Amino acid sequence: MADYPVGFYFQLSFLGEDSAFQEVSGISRETGIEEVVCGGENRFKYRLPTVSTSPNLVLKRALIVNGSNLVNWCESSIDGSLANPIETHDIMVSLLDADGLVCAMWTFYNAYPIKYSISDLKSQENALVIESVELAYNYFDISKSTSFSNLFL
């Protein structure tokens, strides 16, 4: 019986530091299509593949009040008003197995922040304040552990 990985045991690495996050979303990729009508043939359209696209990567965690490298990077990129070049960094998201070993890793290349926000402040709720960071990137690739490679085929 195979041991399938669970979605709650993961880590994120940024600038060589491991960061704890509550949620990482936007790990997907799809190929667009272009529909082409063939003259004289009205029964169907050709559906041809075009370029692959991916949504932005969204990171969520409890608000860090003392600041962090991630928040400093967001401030310099978003508030810099393009006076200085935006620094891009590679972001690694690793899915871990029960022993804490990496079973799959997604590397997002040339990522940069495009949005920073915090959750709504509500006086009648007892919830953590969550900060969200949205990152754009060029592309990502997937590295798999050999023990889990058959799960991703």
Instruction: Look up residue 82 and give its DSSP letter.
Output: T
142 pairs with which residues across the strands? 106
What would the two tokens of residue 8 be?
């709650």
Handedness of CA 52, 75, 87, 96 (dihedral sign): negative
pLDDT in tens, 53-67: 999 999 999 888 887
pLDDT in tens, 29-87: 999 999 988 877 778 888 999 999 999 999 999 888 887 888 888 888 888 777 778 89
| Amino acid at site 19 | S
C-alpha 51/C-alpha 28 separation (Å) is 14
Residue 71, φ and ψ in degrees, nearest 5: -65, -40
N- to C-terminal Cα separation, the chain? 17
Collect all residues with Cβ–Cβ distance below 8 Å to 56 and sequence separation of at least 6.
26, 114, 115, 134, 135, 136, 137
**pTM assigned to the model:** 0.81
Largest CA-CA distance found in the chain, in angstroms, rounded:
67
What would the two tokens of residue 85 be?
């070049």
C-alpha 111/C-alpha 56 separation (Å) is 9
Structural domains for the chain = 10-152 (2.30.110)
pLDDT in tens, 89-132: 999 999 988 888 888 999 999 999 999 999 999 889 888 999 99
pLDDT in tens, 13-29: 887 777 788 899 999 99
